[in-house]
Structure 1
C-alpha cells in the first residue's frame, strides 16, 4: 500500500531538517506552500536531552538522534572509521550544537584589495547577504554583544545575560592584555527555567535550532508534514527536471513528488545523494556536469587550548560566553574566531578526548587500551582545575581532491577523502603561534599536536557560483543543470569562513526561500 504522503503533489519536498532544511521549510510553509520534510532519523521524544555520545550500536544511536553509522574517512592517506558529530532526527545536527551564531566578516565573502579572497569572492557578496544575516538573527532570537573592534553595523542582538564571576574575570584580564572579547551571539530564548542546553538536546523550546526554530513552527502553520525514518535513496529525473524522490519508510519503498526539491541533508549527505542518483544524462551523478559534486570538501581545524582565569576566580561552571576576533585576519593571514567552548576540563571530557586520540592512532585496535586512559585523565583533571576550554576555528580552503566519495556497491556508506595540505599546515602553525602570543600573561596549554578537522563543520561540496563549469549551483542555489532542484545547507559554501557556519546556513536558507516565493513575472 502506498504511503498517504505519496498521494500528494507537494509544492516543495525538503530533504533534511537541520538548520538549512528547517529554516527554508518554515519560510515556505509560512508563505502558504505545502511542504513535506523527509528526515532520515527517528522522531524520538521531544523532552529528550541526551548529547553526542560514543554509543557504537547503530539502533541505539538512531534512537538517540545520532547518525547511526560510522563515517569512513581516508585522512591524510590513512583509512579509519569514526562516529562524526552528526545528528539524525528532527533538527538534524543542530539539536546538539552549542547554538553559537556568528556572522562572518566582509572578507569572508568579498574580494578586497587589502584582503584578497582565495577564490575571487562568493557569487553573493556581504552587502547582499547582510539583510538575511539580520533576519536569521531575529528568527533564531540571538542574544549577545557586538564585537567592539568591528567596523560593520552589528546584528540585531538581544541583550545577553549577566556574566558569571569566571566570565567577568576572563573578560577583564583579556581586555587588559589588549584583546577585544565580547559576549558570543547565542541562539537561546532565555525563557524561565532555561538550562543552557549547549552541546546536547534541549527538552524545552528555548534553544533555537532546526527543530524549534524551523520544523516545529512550520508544522504549526498546518502547511507542512514531517516524515521521520524516511531514508532517501535517490532522486529521479527527466530532461532538466527532478521528477521524484525515492525513499524507504522502514522497509517499504515509497516515491514522493513535488514541484520543487530542496536538498538540505548536509554537506556530506547531499552530494552523496546526488552521486547515488546517476542516470543516462548524468552518468557521474545528478546535477554533476561540472564534475564537482562532492568535491572541495572543507572543515575547520580546531585548535583547542585550556585557559586559566586570573585572580582566583571561583571556577563557577563552564563558560560559552566569550569570543574574540583579534586573530581573525592577522598579519595578512586568514585565521578565524576564538571562542570558549562551554565545557570544563572535567574527568569525563578528558577521557573522551584521550579516547578520540587513541581511536585515530595506530594503536586503535589494541584491546584494553581505552580503559588505560582513565589514570592520565584523572591526573589531568587535577592539573586543569578551574581551566576553561577555548577553541580557535581555523578557516579551511577548497581543495578539489578533498571530497565525498560514493561506491554503488555500498550505496548507504558515507565516505570521504581529506588531506591536510602543506598550505593549511603552514597556516595552522602560524595560528598556533598567534594564539600563544595573544594570550601571553595567561596560563594556557594547547590540548593537541596533530591537525584536528572539525567533522561537525563540513561544507563546500556543492559550491554555488556563476560559471557552470566551476560550480554546481547558481547564485540562487538552484542547480545549473536542473530547473527545480535547490540546495540549502553548508555544501553551497565556496569557502569555510572563519566562524561557525550556522548563521550563514540560516541566512542563505531564508534568501533561497525568498527566491522560491517570489511572484512569477
Structure 2
C-alpha cells in the first residue's frame, strides 16, 4: 500500500501513535527493525536472560573514550517495553517547571502538566494501568481514576509496607501495566527485565500494536532497518530508505514519524546529513543528539539473616517521600520503588559471588530501585564515528543520588534490616534514555515543537523519549505514551485535515 504515514519504530511512542491514528482510516506503515518475540524456554530462565544475555542484541556502541560496550537496548516489536518493569507513572506536576537540584537546575518544559493531563489519563486507560489514588504524597491532580485497582502486594511485601510505614515512610502502590494472573499463569517469575511473550504485560505490542493492527489500514513490516531519510527542496521529508531481507528500498509518505528511541532516533537524523543539511536532519539548532539523559540508578538489597522473602514478583511499592525535597525542606532526591525479585542467577551474573551464597542472599533480600534525575547537558550526547554510534554520557547530579541511597539505607535499617547493600547501574543498563531531540518553542534551541513536530521539516514528527526536555525521576513510559496521544491528535487535526 502507499502509506499516508510512516512510523519508524514500534516502541511505546510509535505504537501508541499508531493505535491513536488507526481509526482515522489513513494508511499507516510501521517499520520495525526487529521481529516479533516468540515464546521460548528462555523467557522465564533467569540464567538465559541475565547471564547468557540471549535477548541482548549483538551490537557495540562506543563510549566517550571510544571504548566499545554493549548497550543492552532491545530490538523487537514493542521495543524496550517488552522487557520493561511495566511501571506506568505520571511525571509529577513540579517536573514540568524548573527545579533546583544539588547538581544544577532543570530547564522546565514548554508545556505544563495540565496541558498533558488529559492525555495521561487516556494513556492510563489505553494501557489498562492498575493503580490507586490517595496514597502518594506527590500525586499530581487527576481528572479521572484508574480503571483497575492496584496489583496486590504479596504477603511478605504487605509486611514490608507496614514496616516502612513504622519507619516513617509513606509507601504507595506502583501504577503497573500488568495482568498478574496472566503473567503468573505462564510461570512463577517476576516480570521486571523479563520478555513478555504471554501478553501478561501491558506493553507497546500487547496493547497498542495489537489495537492498531485490528484496522486494515495499518501494516507492520518487521526486519526493516531504516538507514536514512531524504529531504526535498521544500524541506519536507521525501523518502525513507530501509534495508529489508537484504534489499534496499525507499518508501514515501506525506507524514513521517521517527520513534526509534532516544539514541537511535538521534543517530538516524545525524546519519541522514546531506549537502543542504551537513549536520543532520532536524538539526538547525545543533541540538540533535545533545542533552542525553539516563537516570542515575542503584539497586539496593535489604536483608535480615533470619527472615526470608518468599515473594515471586515483589514489584508493587514505591516511595516518594524524597521526590520533591530531601524530607527536611532541602532539594529533591528522587524516587524509590521495588525491583522485580532478585534471584541467584541475577546476583552471579553481576558479581563474583559463589552460587551457594547467592542463593542464600536472594532468598532473604528485599530489593529496591533508587532513581534520581539526570540533568540535561549539551555535551552529554549521541554522535556517529565512522558510522558507529558513540554515546558520551556525562552523568550529572550524582551527589543527589548518593544522598538518596544513603537516606534510603538509613530508613531500611530503621525498618529492621541490619544489612543493606547497594550497587549503581552503569551505562550497560539502559535506565530510561531520553532527551536527544528536545521539545521547545524556540527553533534555535530545540528540535521539535510542543506537538513533537520538527521545527525544520514540517512533515517530520519525532515521537519517543528523544523529545523529553527533562528526565524527572520516574519511569518515562507513560509520559511517552501521553505525548504520542497528544501528537496523534495534532496530526489528525492538521495533516489529515489538509
- 1:110-189 to structure 2, matched below 5 A, reads 110-111=97-98, 118-146=105-133, 147-150=135-138, 152-154=140-142, 156-157=145-146, 158-189=148-179
Name the residue aligned to 2:201: 207
- 1:425-444 to structure 2, matched below 5 A, reads 425-441=398-414, 442-443=416-417, 444=419
Q: CA deviation at 1:108?
A: 0.8
Is contact 2:50-2:346 (8 Å) kept?
A: no
- Secondary structure at the counterpart of residue 428 of structure 1: helix
Aligned equivalent of 2:231, options 211, 226, 237 = 237
Name the residue aligned to 1:17: 10
Describe the superposition over 1:413-433 as per-residue Cα deviations: whole angstroms up to 9, x where unpaired.
232111234xx2322222223
Deviates more, 1:106-115 or 1:17-26: 106-115
Q: CA deviation at 1:438?
A: 3.3
Q: CA deviation at 1:308?
A: 3.5
Q: CA deviation at 1:190?
A: 4.4
For 1:510 and 1:241, the matched residues in 2 are separated by 23
Is contact 2:236-2:457 (8 Å) kept?
A: yes
Structure 1 position 272 matched with structure 2 position 245: no
For 1:14 and 1:48, the matched residues in 2 are separated by 32
Aligned equivalent of 1:518, options 477, 493, 496 = 493
Q: CA deviation at 1:232?
A: 0.5
Describe the superposition over 1:263-285 as per-residue Cα deviations: whole angstroms up to 9, x where unpaired.
10000000000000001221000
- 1:394-405 to structure 2, matched below 5 A, reads 394-405=372-383
- Secondary structure at the counterpart of residue 333 of structure 1: coil
Corresponding residue pairs, total: 479
Backbone CA RMSD of aligned residues: 2.6
Cα separation, partners in 2 of 1:48 and 1:460, compared to 1, 3 Å: farther
Structure 1 position 379 matched with structure 2 position 373: no
Name the residue aligned to 2:460: 485
Is contact 2:51-2:346 (8 Å) kept?
A: no
Deviates more, 1:234-243 or 1:302-311: 302-311
Name the residue aligned to 2:219: 225
For 2:252 and 2:42, the matched residues in 1 are separated by 34
Name the residue aligned to 1:366: none
Name the residue aligned to 2:210: 216
Name the residue aligned to 1:498: 473
- Secondary structure at the counterpart of residue 310 of structure 2: coil
Is contact 1:35-1:224 (8 Å) kept?
A: yes
Normalising by structure 1, we get a TM-score of 0.86
Cα separation, partners in 2 of 1:452 and 1:87, compared to 1, 3 Å: closer
For 1:314 and 1:108, the matched residues in 2 are separated by 35
Cα separation, partners in 2 of 1:204 and 1:44, compared to 1, 3 Å: closer
Is contact 1:18-1:210 (8 Å) kept?
A: yes
Q: CA deviation at 1:386?
A: 1.6
Is contact 1:232-1:247 (8 Å) kept?
A: yes
Name the residue aligned to 2:430: 455
Aligned equivalent of 1:507, options 460, 482, 493 = 482
For 1:405 and 1:271, the matched residues in 2 are separated by 8
Structure 1 position 347 matched with structure 2 position 344: yes
Cα separation, partners in 2 of 1:293 and 1:162, compared to 1, 3 Å: closer
Structure 2 alignment gaps of length 5 or more: none
Name the residue aligned to 2:325: 330
For 2:24 and 2:425, the matched residues in 1 are separated by 48
Is contact 2:132-2:150 (8 Å) kept?
A: yes
Cα separation, partners in 2 of 1:252 and 1:382, compared to 1, 3 Å: same
Cα separation, partners in 2 of 1:455 and 1:130, compared to 1, 3 Å: same
Normalising by structure 2, we get a TM-score of 0.89
Q: CA deviation at 1:81?
A: 2.9
Deviates more, 1:189-198 or 1:498-507: 189-198
